[in-house]
Amino acid sequence: MLLRGSCRTIMGRLALSAGLLIFLALPAQALEKQLTVVTSYPKDLTTAFKQAFEKQHPDVKVEMLKKKTTAGVKYIQETASNNSSDLFWASAPDAFEVLKEDGLLAKYTVKATGIPDVIGSYPINDPDGFYKGFAGSGYGIMWNTRYLKAKKIPVPQEWNDLTQSVYHGHTGMSAPSRSGTTHLTVETLLQGEGWDKGWALMKEIAGNFHTVTERSFGVPDGVNSGQFGVGIVIDFFGLSSKASGFPVDFVYPTVTTLVPANIAIVKNAPHPEAAAAFIEFLLSEAGQDMLLDPKIMRLPVRPETYAKAPKDFPNPFTDHSIGAKVKFDVVKSKSRYNLVNSMFDVMITYRLDDLRKATKAIQDAEKAMAGKDNAEAAKLIAEAKALIAALPIDETKSLDTEFAATFKKKRKKATDKVTGRQAEVEQQWDSMVKDNYAKAVKLANKAKSM
Amino acid sequence: MPRLRTSYLVALALAFFLLVFLVIPVGKVIYVAFQDSSTGALTLVNFVDFFKTSLFRESFLNSLYVAGMSVLFASIIAMPLAYFTTRFNFGGSILIQTLGIVPLIMPPFVGAVAMQLFFGSNGSVNLLLDQWFGINIPFMEGLNGVILVESIHYFPFILINLSAALNNIDRSMEEAAQNLGSTGMRLFRRIVLPLAMPGYLAGASLVFLKAFDDLGTPLLLNVNNMLATQAYLRISSIGISDPMGYVISVILVIFSLFSLWVSMLASRGKDYSGGGKGSSGLLKRDMKGWEKIGAYCLIIFLLLMVLSPHISLLLLSFGTIWSYSVLPDAFTTAHYAEVFSTTRQYITNTLLYAGIAATFDVAIGVAISYVVLRTKVFGRRWLDYIATGALAVPGVVLGIGYLRTFNDFNVPIIDKPLASWWVIIVIALTIRRLPYALRACTAALHQVSLSLEEASENLGAGKTATVRKIVVPLMAGGIVAGFVTSFATATVELSATLMLVTAESDAPLAYGIYVFMQSAAGRGPGAALGLIAVLVVASGSYLAHHFIERNKRMQATSTGH
Amino acid sequence: MSLTTQVQAVRLRIEDVHISFGPTKVLQGINLEIEPGEFFAFLGPSGSGKSTLLRAIAGFGPTPQGRILINDEDIASLPPWKRDVGMVFQNYALWPHLTVQKNVAFGLEERKVPKAEIFSRVEEALDMVGLSHLADRHPSQLSGGQQQRVALARTIVVRPRLLLLDEPLSNLDANLRVQMRTDILKLQRKLGLTTIFVTHDQEEANTISDRMAVLDKGIIQQIGTPMDLYDYPENSFVAHFLGTTNMIEGEVVTVDGSAVLKAGGGLELSLLDISVDGHHGAIVFRPQSVHVNPETAASSAMNLSGTIESLEFLGSTVRYGVKVGKITVLADEDHQRGKRVYDKMEQVQLVIPQEQVLFVKA
């Protein structure tokens, strides 16, 4: 049974593999309309859309090529010289920005009507016309209800909650360099709270991390299985996990941003017409309805679709508290994309143990000081906190294009010159961060012993 | 003279294949490591940066530590198992032989997820420990987790090689020691172990190498401070052409080659296998009642431990929701139904790709081993070295190398870039698994006496006919062993294939599992797919094992040993 | 303390030993007594059980039924390492990862002998086999003969109660074999060790052993000195195995009050003066006991007429194959220059002195 369907293809392939070595002549393949989509989306989402689209266009065969966002970008970059992909379909607008900048996307004007210009405070479509938003998503907090109950941990509501010592060792997040959507969270925090305060908050939260996962899905996976109790995730991970039956729940904190999940036609796409048809389908009412499938759970960009949504489903077009606090500056985000990623990795991902140790020391010291009035100890703790929060560069520098260029070198021609080496810079940061964390531990311990 | 020409032609074809599909693509990638990123000139400054950065030094030490400890733990698991199978007559031996290689087939992603559910900080074991004793053992935290998974994953390399070495020891070696008053552990330590050392070293160096290079495990356990992960993270980040990733790749390759070379040196001139005179293998004896109970307890404990990923995979594939609990909430067969109804092509593709790749592997393995051992072609050893070197090339590097090298090369007739044709996956698998097949073929050819070939030539058979009619049949056992290892490990290969999959209809199983494991609802079906992979490979291996044994018996009766 | 002093030779007794490998009976009812200091050989074809018996004495192989006694101590149930019975293996079993010195020292180390003593005893043992200059080599760097000597040194250095040699010469070439044979015998005499030597080569057994046991099919066929066995074989197997022999089988009948052997083809042979036991059997006699005479010679009790069928020139003798009725009798005639040599197809008369003829059970 297993083999029947594929028997013919297998025979064909065996013949082809022989052909590889001797270049045997084979009859040319029948011309059939195809569509290749490079996407970071899970199977539940892609399969549903693939089937629905193929039903509407029976002559087109859709190929869903799943890559992690970063790998997808890499793939399109590496294969650009002989492109075979039609669409790039992923969440993070930044990934589209990278491709756009490399000149690897094609412009397209949407025909569908009835879609607003912004979701939350974020423009739904790329102002330059390269990529289109088809759904909104925002970052939030998900948690495992069994886990929190067993460990008697309160349910978090805001980012600040996650800095409390009760969450130490119970939270998880992905690294922005690994996941485009995680990058958005970090950038949202930096823009919403300001550069210094944002990083300080981020590090305070990170000091409680159980782990920094390599894939963005690693976070919902860890929360779902109870590996850790609380995760910072994009909404649909939380909503779809809950819909799949896991004992988890999800909340949007006040500081979040709704950003569109996007789709774009790749430059020199072999099947541009099928690609356009797919985008139109995605934005049509039928396509938008599918986003409410319990396994998918994304915020549609068509306001009228929300009428069909389940009770309690967040509606950013009516509930303006979601994602309204931050006005996300996509240009700023793009200009320091790699730099922020690198800073996060150097200060948090790769030094997580040191950071955790320092955070724990401070939390212990604070516990020991509770109820006592010791100005000197309080000063030491404040100093330790400042050491942890300290940044190797200020916001101005982060927006200095020449400096940021160190992190996205691409020598297009042999004559191009780029100054500074990323490794050199990271090396300086790393030693500073490591020293600071170690000093913070010492200060906190001193404060505790007072 | 025609004889000579044929062997040169074969050697040349092999060299060409390795050059095009291994040396050039890898060279294209690691070249970046030697390039000054601002001027493009050749430089070693990137390596200076590497050793100046404390993170990289730490990663380097972590990788060494993990590899070393993995060898230690793998030895602790493998040694008793090897000893019991070779020393005693009892049913457990067959159990070990059959189940002992299953850990090698750990499907990507689900394997680590399953381990987390079992051994994680809130996995079944720790939940039970907490319930009973109020303790929590961090099996899976940080480097511990990597060491645990690597040792469980790769100990069969030691088990297989050590058992083979023990079985090759001339029995009188042990009898002579007993005769002189030695027994028990002393005898084992002073005579048996030193004699089995070459086999042990061969296995241990493989474990060391794999643990040192392995990417998937630390990545899935979110351990970032290791070399392979650092390389991967830096290579696969968006838009960054940070040369550090490639520098680390170069260091990985060099260090892996170095450890291969050391293990070769260590076992040089120490081929202690019996020369065919007398009976070989340890003295086998039956166990007394209490010994049997003890042995079974130990073996069952070890097998439970090494099969724990597969056991929890089984639970996961049949479980509904498994979250912060000892066992899943309920059981269902829905995941299998889903896999069978929607993703059969993954299974057939995998069988096809791994099958073709393993076939190529043994064909190339036989050819290389023959050229190296039986001809005088200039530079023949380099074929061996380069092909073996593939063991040390991280899959990501090979994948990116293929994309860079073959994307602009359109295959005639189908008019598609070679890099996006499914055949490239087969080639990647072939190259990645070639070292296993090559080692097996070389070992097999070593045992074919030259006089058997001479007899054939003496009776008028040419070189080609001799190879076909005499050498290959006599190598059959080794060829099958090589095929099985290559096939089994190719089935679950992920890193290179993930880069090269260009169409879902062409995707292999590992990719399918990856796709499933990206969504909350996909965990069950992903586990089901993983378990199917294990079953397919295990039954394939069992059949091959059966075939080898039958073949051995046939040869034994025909030569009257 | 030298190896040669301190000898307390032991007596070995084997009582009713049976050994089976699964359903196959390999040894059946072995009874044997070996005197202190004796050089004893187990002789038999391959598969006769001789090696199994030797290994059973050393403690290898399946546990035997019956008793194996050294002096009066039953060692049958002791593990090999507690028997203190030295064995030299057919393939020498030298450990390739240890030097010659370490190989020889091994047994002493196991016996916790002090370091200094180990050193001197190893040197003495290697001296005794003439290899002290090769002490630092590895076995793979030695010739076959040298390996054999190392194996011997390794065994005797621990002063075992018994010395067992399992076909020790079979892997050596012919010249070396003769040399080693004498060397081993000299060494044994010097040490005064009770020694058992397994071989399938009767010449080896004859030249080296004081007494020997001939084994076949797991049963001891006969025990005795080499000459005894040659001259007075008790059955056809022993007669055949120890050198060339003539054998004529038949039924024993009584004709006119005296015993006659009726062989096939109407041949009847008188058994007068030959002790006969049973009704079916054979007479055996060695080729050198048969005299070939011209046909005219007077006939006697054991005269047979025949035709020369074949002849082989062996140097000191000429071996004739003489067809008598349906059987062929071998006859060796001394050869000297000028002595008459019979031609093929020539009619001759064979004379066999009665005292050279034995009757054996078939």
Q: How many CB pairs under 8 A join A and B?
A: 251
Say yes or no to pLDDT of A170 above 90: yes
Angle among Cα A265, A268, A270 to the nearest 5 degrees reads 85
Query: What mean pLDDT is predicted for residues B498-524?
Result: 79
Render pLDDT for C90-111 as a digit per residue (tens, 0 to 9): 888 888 888 999 999 998 988 8
Hey, is the C-beta of B473 within 8 angstroms of any chain C C-beta?
no
Alpha-carbon distances, residue C136 vs B148, C104, C155 (angstroms):
43, 11, 18
- Residue among B344, B412, B523 minimizing CB distance to A23: B412
> Nearest-CA distance from B266 to chain C in Å?
13
pLDDT of residue B95: 74
Hey, is the C-beta of A15 within 8 angstroms of any chain B C-beta?
no
Highest mean pLDDT among A256-265, B230-239, B466-475, B537-546: A256-265
Least trusted range by pLDDT, from A253-257, B100-104, B472-476, C269-273: C269-273
Indicate yes or no: CB of B179 within 8 angstroms of CB of C79.
no
Confidence grade of residue A242 (pLDDT, cut at 50, 70, 90): confident
Closest residue of B to A94, CA-based? B238
Hey, is the C-beta of B528 within 8 angstroms of any chain A C-beta?
no
- Integer-rounded Cα Rg, in Å, for chain B is 24
pLDDT of residue B558: 46
Alpha-carbon distances, residue A243 vs A220, A293, C83 (angstroms):
13, 9, 75
Q: How far apart are CA C98 and CA B192, in angstroms?
A: 12
Say yes or no to pLDDT of B2 above 60: no
Handedness of CA B1, B5, B6, B7 (dihedral sign): positive
CA nearest to B96, candidates B385, B294, B303: B303
Confidence grade of residue C198 (pLDDT, cut at 50, 70, 90): very high
Q: Which 3 state secondary structure label does DSSP give A238?
A: helix
Angle between helices B227-235 and B193-213 (to 10 degrees): 30
Tokens of C208: 């080296």
pLDDT of residue C21: 84
Query: What mean pLDDT is predicted for residues A3-22?
Result: 43
pLDDT of residue A2: 37
CA nearest to B162, candidates B208, B187, B194: B194
> Which chain C residues are closer than 8 Å to B270 by Cβ?
96-97
> Nearest-CA distance from A281 to chain B in Å?
21
> Nearest-CA distance from C84 to chain B in Å?
7
- Residue among A6, A247, A352 minimizing CB distance to B323: A247
- Residue among A42, A227, A427 minimizing CB distance to B522: A42
pLDDT of residue B242: 66
pLDDT of residue A11: 45
Tokens of B14: 């092999």
Query: What mean pLDDT is predicted for residues C247-262?
Result: 80
Render pLDDT for C148-193 as a digit per residue (tens, 0 to 9): 899 999 999 988 999 999 988 887 888 888 888 889 999 898 888 9
Highest mean pLDDT among A179-183, A234-238, B233-237, C154-158: C154-158
> Nearest-CA distance from C7 to chain B in Å?
18
Say yes or no to pLDDT of A112 above 60: yes
> Which chain C residues are closer than 8 Å to B266 by Cβ?
none
Indicate yes or no: CB of C96 within 8 angstroms of CB of B272.
yes
Interface test with C, best of B169, B175, B179, B279 (most C CBs within 10 A): B179
pLDDT of residue B453: 77
Render pLDDT for B64-106 as a digit per residue (tens, 0 to 9): 999 999 999 999 989 888 888 887 877 777 777 777 778 877 7
Query: What mean pLDDT is predicted for residues B242-246?
Result: 76
**More confident of the two residues C268 and A159:** A159
> Which chain B residues are closer than 8 Å to A414 by Cβ?
40
Say yes or no to pLDDT of B269 above 90: no
- Residue among B172, B182, B190 minimizing CB distance to C93: B172
Least trusted range by pLDDT, from B143-147, B234-238, C70-74: B234-238
| b/e B290-302 (16+ beta carbons within 10 angstroms → b) | eeeeebbeebeeb
Looking at residue A290, its amino acid is M
Chains C and B touch (3+ CB pairs under 8 A): yes
Tokens of B252: 């990985």
Confidence grade of residue B280 (pLDDT, cut at 50, 70, 90): low
pLDDT of residue B75: 93
> Which chain C residues are closer than 8 Å to B278 by Cβ?
89-91
Interface of A with B in 30-49 (CB under 8 A): 36, 41-45, 47
**More confident of the two residues B418 and A63:** A63
Query: What mean pLDDT is predicted for residues C336-355?
Result: 86
Confidence grade of residue A14 (pLDDT, cut at 50, 70, 90): very low
Q: How far apart are CA A142 and CA A134, in angstroms?
A: 23
- Residue among C60, C96, C107 minimizing CB distance to B180: C107
Say yes or no to pLDDT of A15 above 50: no
Indicate yes or no: CB of C95 within 8 angstroms of CB of B191.
yes
The pTM for the full model equals: 0.78
> Which chain C residues are closer than 8 Å to B560 by Cβ?
none
Say yes or no to pLDDT of B193 above 90: no
Query: What mean pLDDT is predicted for residues A423-444?
Result: 89
Indicate yes or no: CB of B182 within 8 angstroms of CB of C110.
yes
pLDDT of residue A307: 87
Render pLDDT for C31-70 as a digit per residue (tens, 0 to 9): 999 999 999 999 999 889 999 999 999 988 888 899 999 9
Other CB atoms closer than 10 Å to residue B403's CB: what's the count?
Answer: 24
Closest residue of B to A180, CA-based? B238
> Nearest-CA distance from A378 to chain B in Å?
32
> Nearest-CA distance from A316 to chain B in Å?
24
Say yes or no to pLDDT of B118 above 90: no
Q: How many CB pairs under 8 A join B and C?
A: 77
Indicate yes or no: CB of B413 within 8 angstroms of CB of A28.
yes
Query: What mean pLDDT is predicted for residues A196-220?
Result: 90
Say yes or no to pLDDT of C14 above 90: yes
> Which chain B residues are closer than 8 Å to C60 by Cβ?
175, 178, 283
DSSP 8-state code for residue C298: P
CA nearest to B39, candidates A418, C343, A372, A396: A418
Percent of chain C with pLDDT over 90: 35
Say yes or no to pLDDT of A32 above 80: no
Confidence grade of residue A25 (pLDDT, cut at 50, 70, 90): very low
> Nearest-CA distance from A375 to chain B in Å?
36
Mean pLDDT of chain C: 87
**More confident of the two residues A370 and C198:** C198
Render pLDDT for B344-370 as a digit per residue (tens, 0 to 9): 888 888 889 998 999 999 999 999 988
Least trusted range by pLDDT, from B127-136, B211-220, C306-315: B211-220
Confidence grade of residue C294 (pLDDT, cut at 50, 70, 90): confident
Which subunits sit against C, judged by 3+ Cβ pairs under 8 A? B
Confidence grade of residue C2 (pLDDT, cut at 50, 70, 90): low
Closest residue of B to C61, CA-based? B283
Render pLDDT for A401-423 as a digit per residue (tens, 0 to 9): 778 777 765 544 444 444 567 77
Tokens of B135: 């303790």
Q: How far apart are CA B235 and CA B244, in angstroms?
A: 8
Hey, is the C-beta of C313 within 8 angstroms of any chain B C-beta?
no
Looking at residue B453, its amino acid is E
Indicate yes or no: CB of A146 within 8 angstroms of CB of B504.
no
Tokens of A203: 């590090």
> Nearest-CA distance from B258 to chain A in Å?
26
| b/e B525-549 (16+ beta carbons within 10 angstroms → b) | bbbbbbbbbbebbbebbeebbeebe
Q: How far apart are CA B259 and CA B265, in angstroms?
A: 10
Q: How far apart are CA A308 and CA B541, in angstroms?
A: 53
pLDDT of residue A9: 47
| b/e A409-443 (16+ beta carbons within 10 angstroms → b) | bebeeeeeebeebbbebbbebbeebbebbebbbeb
Mean pLDDT of chain B: 81
pLDDT of residue B475: 80
Q: Any long-range contacts for B2-5 (C-beta under 8 Å, 24+ apart)?
A: B3/B462, B3/B463
Chains A and C touch (3+ CB pairs under 8 A): no
Interface of C with B in 159-218 (CB under 8 A): none
Say yes or no to pLDDT of A244 above 90: no
- Residue among A84, A95, A418 minimizing CB distance to B417: A84
CB B211 within 8 A of CB B67: yes
Interface test with B, best of A74, A217, A266, A416 (most B CBs within 10 A): A74
Confidence grade of residue B3 (pLDDT, cut at 50, 70, 90): low
Angle among Cα C351, C352, C358 to the nearest 5 degrees reads 165
Say yes or no to pLDDT of B534 above 70: yes
Say yes or no to pLDDT of B4 above 70: no
pLDDT of residue B400: 78
Least trusted range by pLDDT, from B4-13, B271-280, B426-435: B271-280
Q: Which 3 state secondary structure label does DSSP give B113?
A: helix
Q: Which 3 state secondary structure label does DSSP give B218?
A: helix
pLDDT of residue C68: 93
**More confident of the two residues A3 and B309:** B309
> Nearest-CA distance from A165 to chain B in Å?
19
CB C21 within 8 A of CB C68: no
Say yes or no to pLDDT of A4 above 60: no
Highest mean pLDDT among A382-386, B455-459, C279-283: A382-386
